[in-house]
Structures are given as C-alpha cells and as structure tokens.
Structure 1
Amino acid sequence: MQDILINWTPQETRVAVIENGAVQDLYIERALERGLVGNIYAGRVARVLPGMQSAFIDIGLERAAFLHVADVILNGNGRSDNGAPAVPIERLVFEGQTLTVQVIKDPIGSKGARVSTQVSIAGRLLVFLPHDNHIGISQKIGSQELREQLRARMNQLVQLPDGTTPAGGFILRTNAEDATDAELADDIAYLRKTWAAIRERGFKAPPGSLLYQDLSLVERVLRDLSNDLTQAIRVDSRIQYEALLAFGEVFTPRAVKKLSHYEGERPIFDLYNIDDEIARALARRVDLKSGGYLIIDQTEALTTVDVNTGGFVGTRNFDDTIFKTNLEATQAIARQLRLRNLGGIIIIDFIDMSREEHQAAVLAELRKQLARDRTRITVSGFTNLGLVEMTRKRTRESLAHMLCEPCPTCEAKGQVKTARSVCYDILREILREARQFNPKEFRIIAAPAVVEMLLDEENQHLAGLSDFIGKPISLQAEPTGSPEAYDIVLL
C-alpha cells in the first residue's frame, strides 16, 4: 500500500510517494520553470508567408508563433505520401483565420513558439489524436503479436455502447503494455472529456486565448500516480485540495475518495522526514543498514553505482558477506534510481562474486526490485568485467540537475587541488614571468591556506626561488572563493 503526500506553495509543488514508511518517489515542479510545450491556444493567422511556406499565428504571447506547412493538417489536407506538403500553405490558411494550435517548441531568444494544428493530448497510458482515427502502438512495445492484441483490445474499447466509434485516434504509450481494459477505458474517457472541454472553450474564447495547459503536477497525481495500491492522497493546501476535488470529480472519480486535506501542525513532509531524504538523495554516498554503502556518480554520459562492503564483516565466510551486501544493495539501488530520477545508461559495479549462483541470485533480485519502477528499464546482465549494464528511460530532469548547479569552486570536477599543488603552480608561474619581465617585486595573492603553506612548509622553496631570480617575493592572503585561485602582481 502507498500514501501520496503533496506539499504545495505558490512557487513550488513537491510530491512524495510513500511505501512501507519510506519515500520511494519524489516529484518537484516549479511555477516559473513550466514551459509552453503542449499548451493549446485559440490562434489567429496574423500573416501568411508563401515564400517560406509558413505563417505567423497570434496566440496571445509577446511574439507571434511560427506555423510551417508541414505542421498544418486541416480537413484531411496535409502531407502527401512522400512526406512533402500536399497543398501549399496559402491554400490552407488565410490572414484573420482562427485556428486551434498546439505549441510543439518553446520560444527561444527572439524566436516565437513553434505550433502545429495537429493536436495531441497525453494521458496516463494513451495519447489522444482528435484529428486522426487510427490506433497506433508505441514502437517500444514487445512483439508484433502483442501489438496486434493491444490494437484489437483498443478497437473494442473505443466503441460506444451503441457500437459507433467517435472521431479521434489513440496511440498506446510504452507503459500501456501491461494495462488492464479498465485502466485503458479510464484513460479513453479522461482524454475524450478533456478534448470536449477544449472544444467548448474554443467556441467561446476570443483569438489569443489559452484553451488547455498540460496538467500541473498536483493534477497529474490523480491522473498518473494514483492507482489501486494508493490508500490516501494528502495535500497541505486548502485551495489545491478544493481544486483537486473539482478536477477529480470530472476526470478521475475513482481517485477522489482517497483525497484529503492535511491540517496537522507539523509540515506535511516532516511526517516521514522527507526533506532529510532529499538531502541524502543529493549525496554521493548512500549507507546500507548492514554497514556497506553505495557511491553514486552522475555524469553527462552515464551514471555509475559502486557497491562496497564498508564496515560489514558478516558472521560466516567472506563470500557470504559479499553476497548479502550485494543483495541488500539491489533494493537501495532501485530506490535511489527512482528518488534521484536517474536516466540513460547506468553501470552497477557490484562487489565481485566468485560463485555463479550468487551472481544469478543478485541479478534476479535486482530485476525484482526494478519491476516496481514506473519508468521503462532494460537490464542487460553481467558483462565480462563483472559489471551490470542497464538503461532507464529519461522522463524528466534528475533531482540533482533540478535542485543543484555546478560548483563554482571546483567547476564541477568534484575535487580541488591541494594547497601544496597550488603553491607549486605559483612558484612555476613566478619563474616563468621572471624570464619575461623585470619588476622590482613579485606579490602573491592567494587563499589563506596557500599563503600559510608558503610561509611554513614551503618557506625554503620560496626563499630559494627569490634568491634564484634576484627579486623579493611578498605574500598577501585573501579569501578568493576558490582555493585554487591566485594572482601574481608585478610591482
């Protein structure tokens, strides 16, 4: 069973999914960082450019949006069989015309948003295409036989009780592979209601009006996160609670009965020390209960997870100690991938196991723990070097990328030079400059720890350099922000 806690403020929404008393998933959304992609507007054609086969559309923003002929689908007109525009844009749209358009690319710099008339609305399991009538299946879904089975089920589910099929097509998303008919039917109903509401607003709203904005994180809790295992959804904002009630009664009625307003004196995230969990999820080291630990390093290309025994010595032989540590690590790794939302290529370096049955058991346990993840995962097994290779689909920014920025001191290297290394850099630089310039004196301005070392342990080398170049060298300690930063002033 799981509980979902929602901490809401005007600037930020945070959602935690709790299972067995521990945080399993974290979601964060900031008001100022929400983009426009997915928004649907009542647009007005401001200008048609036949030479560029495009048009500028006024959607109520500071800059007009850009519509290319390849993104225009009206009354069946659009691309030909070879992918080229079947009809020129001047025959598809005209100045002053009202169009329902969807943003497919955010504004960048001086360029306006890019829009399309081919509207799509994403649900939990499906994507609804109001202007299309076919049933599509994600390319990542299994075998051809499974794809045909899903298509046949969808053809039955989209029909109304009288046997007719309303306009509009659907694409099954990757996570619909194991969905039940009831779950698919709920998503179909939700998406059709959403499109009906958009059309109704479109008939009444003036050009430049926002007709639909992709759901906020709070609303996606009801649509995407709530399931049969959810026993309670608690939100600490009365305003958001009432808004969720209204939203849920229309679109997700089964989730409404689980919703409640949290009125406790303690902050809602304090109930499970979630802020401490967030802090731990930003650290490299993750301690295991046995005394072992993980080291997690996230780079641009991939994420590595190193498993270590630490202080765990076990009660039997060393092989059993390693095996138990690796088994315990599988649960922690699966949880950390979700908490940190780590995606892309992931390499796990378990402690080397000499017995093949131990390797097989650890791999089976890892797959079991990863099966709880909502995100698509592929595990390739152990390589010849004893590493486990896996991939986890990127769905949003990782927790570290959302909450942190590169360290200005180490410039994201994760380490800085020692004071002694900086001292030797300075001595080499003075020697280099002494060959080019002839000042009366060299003055070193550096971090206090560097100056202290030059005055103490490296004093003999500093004095020897001064004698060699025949110039005095003075020192000035200043907090530089970075222990590696220094300046050499010629006096």
Structure 2
Amino acid sequence: MSEEILVNVTPRETRVAVVENGMLQELHIERGWRRGVVGNIYKGKVQRVMPGMQAAFVDVGLDRAAFLHANDVVRAVPATNGDEVEVPPAPVAATPIVELLRDGQDIVVQVVKDPIGSKGARLTTQISIPSRYMVLLPQSKVIGVSARIEDEAERLRLKTLVGELAATHGGHGYIVRTNAEGQTQEALAEDIAYLSRVWALVEQRSREAAMGACIYEDLTLPLRAVRDLMRRDVEKVKVDSRETCDRLQAFAAKYMPVLAERIEHYAGERPIFDLYGVEDEIGRALEKEVPLKSGGYLVIDQTEAMTTIDVNTGSFLGQRNLEETVYRTNLEAAQSVARQLRLRNLGGIIIIDFIDMDDPEHRRQVLRTLEKALSRDHAKTTVYEFSPLGLVEMTRKRTIESLERQLSESCHECGGRGTVKTAETVTYEIFREITRAVRQFEAARLLVIASPKVVARITEEESPAVAELEEFLGKSIRFQADEQYLQEQFDVVLL
C-alpha cells in the first residue's frame, strides 16, 4: 500500500493530508487563530464543584470553563492516537467529588477533548505526554504496550527494555506506541530521556506559573503529523513550504533519522493539494451523499447526539439476484464508511443502516470488512454486532470537531435546520400578520417588505387573495421586494 503525507502551509492555516493509493484518507487542519488545545497542560482553578454530577468546572484560561469528572481525577488516561494498551482496568471512582476537589483550589490538568459546540473542554488530572515511541504517564508505574504490536516476542522485548530504562529515569509509567516496533534500545532510551526532561520542565512551571497559564503545549500540526503519522510504510512527506520542510527534517533527523530522508520540499507551481486532487475530495467530504462505484450511495447525517449513515443500492442492479446485489453493495459501503469516518473525523455514537440481508454469513462478512477497514484508523473504534433492527452500532473516539464543523457553519437562512419554509407558507404568515397588525394599530395603508421570491408569489399567484384581504380590511396593501431579506423574513409596516 502506497502512503504519502502532504503538508500545505499558508500564513494563517496549515493542512496535513494522508493519501493512500492516491485517495485522501485523513485531513488535519490547524488555523493560527484557533489551534486545538488537546494535550495542553494548564494550571487551573476549580470554579465550582458539582456533587450531583460528580464533576467540577475548572477555569484554565479558555473562553469557557472546562469540565473535569471525578473519574478523570482518579483514573488513568489511555494512549493518544488510538494506541490501545493492555493495562488492568481502573475501578470507577467511588470517592465523592467533594472529597477530591474544593472551590477555588489550584489544580494542574490536561485537556483530553477540545471544546466542541457549546461544550467546554474535557480535562483530566492524569497527565500523559507523548513522544515518538512512548507516552509518559508520570503518575503511574504501569508499562503498557500498544495492542497493535501483535508479535508476542516483540511485545515482551519492548516491555522488558522500557521497564529497565524507566527504572533509571524516575520509575514513571510508559505506554509503548505502535511506532516503537523494531526500534533499538538506543532509540527508546533517547525517547525516555527526552520525556524526562519535558516532565521536569512541566513540574517547574506548575510551581511557578500563574493560574490559567499553559505550562505545556503540544507540537504544531506539521511536527505532530511527523511524530504520530510517519511510519515505515509512509513513502514520502511532501511539504510546500521550505521553512517548514527544514524544521521537519531537523526534527526527524533528531528523533527518527531512518525516515528523515523521506521528507522533501515540494516546489511545483501547481498547488500540492490540487495536484493530488485533495481540494476536490474536501469539497465532496462536506456533502451528505457519498456515491459508491457500484452505483449505490451513502447518506451521512451528523447531529448533536450521533451520526447516522444510510446505505442505498441506487442504480446498482447486480448480475445475479437481489440478495447478491445487496451483499455486494454493503461490502463496498463498509469500506467507504470506514474511509468517510476518518476523512470527516466523525466521532461519538455512529449508527450504520446497511441494506437488509437475510443470510447470516453475509452479515458476518460485511461486519468483518468494516472492522478490517477500520483497523488503519488512528482513532479508537468499537464495532458491535447487527442489532435486531439490522443496524450496526459503533463508537469512534472524538477529541476535536468534525471536518464539517471545522469548515462550515449553520446556514444563515435556515439556522441549521436544513430546511426553510416554503414561499407559500411565508405568504400565509404575512396575511395573518397583516390582519393582526390592522386589529392592533390604526393605519391608512400597509407596506410589506419580503424576499423577491415571496413577493413574486404574492403578486402573481396570490393576487386575488390580496384583493379580498384589502376589501375585508378596508386598507391598501403594497408589496416591496428586498434582496437582503431571507425567504422566511418579512416586515409589515403601517403607514
């Protein structure tokens, strides 16, 4: 499988695209005025303890107070970027939040989830600091290994090595990341030494910093991309900024010298995202419908509570019978769903409505295809069996806003509903408002200002109704079209 990472840098925005076999799989965006805060460590102050919620709101200097649950005060945090770790499950917090925190208390916390929508950031007191091959857990003694490293001998080697190295650097806990597979003792020792220096600096700043100060900030997007996404199967990292390319090469030379030569500057005249068709893919990723090669299609609806994905056969008729057609469409849809989840960065609860299949083996194969396609996802996913209604329920870890929420805003016409009232509906609302206004206030005549489409309908199709209304009220009514008015907006002016 051919994989490349493309880095597009402009003065106020940086974008990183992961392209596999010529197809865009992931897109990461960082804007200068709004960098994500996941991974940042702050010195905060407890604003309010909420015993009924077993949680507290903490001021960390962001726009909104952040949320800290009792479980996150006492329970360790899993590795970032989808590295699953085999560690003993932590018990659910039994200690009341009022015994853990008090109003006005200073506290060092880390952001585990960006502010999303109207919700503030999610916090934890269990600090974790990632590097190329490790995640440092300074308040733990556990040595865990990513579940994605499957070779038992390699798992044992890494766990033994890291355990020995950790003992000489404060005895902290570590998670061994997927990138560490096959690495030498020297490379791992360098990583642990780096993390020890970072933690010493965090401890010093936590003592000296003022409330609301950021005492540790994660790397910028291009550096994070090289640290987290660059693996042995990545052929090239192409960067369209010479300055950023130099910075990435220096970073790679220090932390991953074997891969440093794969980072190169793109100096072509054509924009790098245009060359690879990424811009077109971004546009398609904001559409609700996703066409399948077979002629079927997906319909993706993102709501506050969950994301639903509906699979349809469309124009695909198949070669044999209906069951075979449905099966083939669902297999293709399973792969497309996995790609769309990564590309659109959809998280939380996801419900997939595959086309109904009678054959249990077909259902198993579709589920297996979905799980296999999700195996390359950096975010942690959990897929459940088909429900009695034929739906597949799954979850995908969400730490930042989806691509749609990052690039789009609610429609100014419909206010995010996805629909607007018809011109006919608005027309009858205007008639009712005219009647209400005449009964309340004295006026010789009335002026109605509305959108051109609504005024056109009133003056053409509804002109007999307007004449009847004028006769009934004994008033003259004039209509004026205004391009600035949205379809649902209108004003009734008494003259």
Q: Are 1:134 and 2:141 counterparts?
A: yes
Specify whether residues 184 and 115 from structure 1 end up closer, same or farther in structure 2 by C-alpha distance, changes over 3 A only: farther
User: Which of 336, 340, 353 is 1:336 aligned to?
Assistant: 340
Q: Are 1:24 and 2:25 counterparts?
A: yes
Specify whether residues 377 and 104 from structure 1 end up closer, same or farther in structure 2 by C-alpha distance, changes over 3 A only: closer
Pairing of 1:317-396 with structure 2 (within 5 A): 317-396=321-400
- Residues 296 and 305 in structure 1, CA contact (< 8 A), matched pair in contact too: yes
1:165 counterpart residue number: 168
Specify whether residues 273 and 30 from structure 1 end up closer, same or farther in structure 2 by C-alpha distance, changes over 3 A only: same
User: Which of 444, 464, 472 is 2:468 aligned to?
Assistant: 464
SS of the residue aligned with 2:259? helix
CA displacement at 1:299 relative to structure 2: 0.5
Higher relative contact order (CA 8 A, sep 6+): 2
The separation in 1 between residues aligned to 2:414 and 2:373, in whole angstroms, is 36
- Residues 161 and 185 in structure 2, CA contact (< 8 A), matched pair in contact too: no
CA displacement at 1:308 relative to structure 2: 1.4
1:423 counterpart residue number: 427
- Residues 222 and 248 in structure 1, CA contact (< 8 A), matched pair in contact too: yes
- Residues 37 and 103 in structure 1, CA contact (< 8 A), matched pair in contact too: no
The separation in 1 between residues aligned to 2:321 and 2:235, in whole angstroms, is 43
SS of the residue aligned with 1:367? helix
Specify whether residues 388 and 154 from structure 1 end up closer, same or farther in structure 2 by C-alpha distance, changes over 3 A only: same
- Structure 1 residues 208-260: Cα deviation after superposition (integer angstroms, max 9, x where no partner): 79885311111112211011211111111111111112211222223312211
The separation in 2 between residues aligned to 1:191 and 1:285, in whole angstroms, is 46
1:121 counterpart residue number: 129
1:196 counterpart residue number: 197
The separation in 2 between residues aligned to 1:16 and 1:222, in whole angstroms, is 12
The separation in 2 between residues aligned to 1:446 and 1:424, in whole angstroms, is 13
The answer for unaligned runs of 5 or more in structure 2 is: 44-59, 63-69, 73-94, 116-120
CA displacement at 1:290 relative to structure 2: 1.8
Specify whether residues 353 and 235 from structure 1 end up closer, same or farther in structure 2 by C-alpha distance, changes over 3 A only: same
Q: Are 1:278 and 2:282 counterparts?
A: yes
- Residues 293 and 308 in structure 1, CA contact (< 8 A), matched pair in contact too: yes
CA displacement at 1:363 relative to structure 2: 1.8
RMSD: 4.5
Opposite residue 166 of structure 1, the aligned amino acid is H
Opposite residue 10 of structure 2, the aligned amino acid is T
- Residues 123 and 187 in structure 1, CA contact (< 8 A), matched pair in contact too: no
- Structure 1 residues 193-220: Cα deviation after superposition (integer angstroms, max 9, x where no partner): 144367589999xx77988531111111
- Residues 445 and 478 in structure 1, CA contact (< 8 A), matched pair in contact too: yes
Would you say how many aligned residue pairs link Structure 1 and Structure 2?
439
Specify whether residues 362 and 210 from structure 1 end up closer, same or farther in structure 2 by C-alpha distance, changes over 3 A only: closer
The separation in 2 between residues aligned to 1:321 and 1:362, in whole angstroms, is 13
The separation in 2 between residues aligned to 1:37 and 1:372, in whole angstroms, is 22
The separation in 2 between residues aligned to 1:328 and 1:460, in whole angstroms, is 55
2:159 counterpart residue number: 154
The separation in 2 between residues aligned to 1:408 and 1:183, in whole angstroms, is 56
Specify whether residues 489 and 342 from structure 1 end up closer, same or farther in structure 2 by C-alpha distance, changes over 3 A only: same
SS of the residue aligned with 2:435? helix
CA displacement at 1:129 relative to structure 2: 4.0
- Residues 343 and 398 in structure 1, CA contact (< 8 A), matched pair in contact too: yes
TM-score (normalizing by structure 2): 0.76
2:47 counterpart residue number: none
1:52 counterpart residue number: none
1:222 counterpart residue number: 226
TM-score (normalizing by structure 1): 0.76
Specify whether residues 188 and 294 from structure 1 end up closer, same or farther in structure 2 by C-alpha distance, changes over 3 A only: farther
The answer for unaligned runs of 5 or more in structure 1 is: 44-58, 63-69, 72-80, 94-100
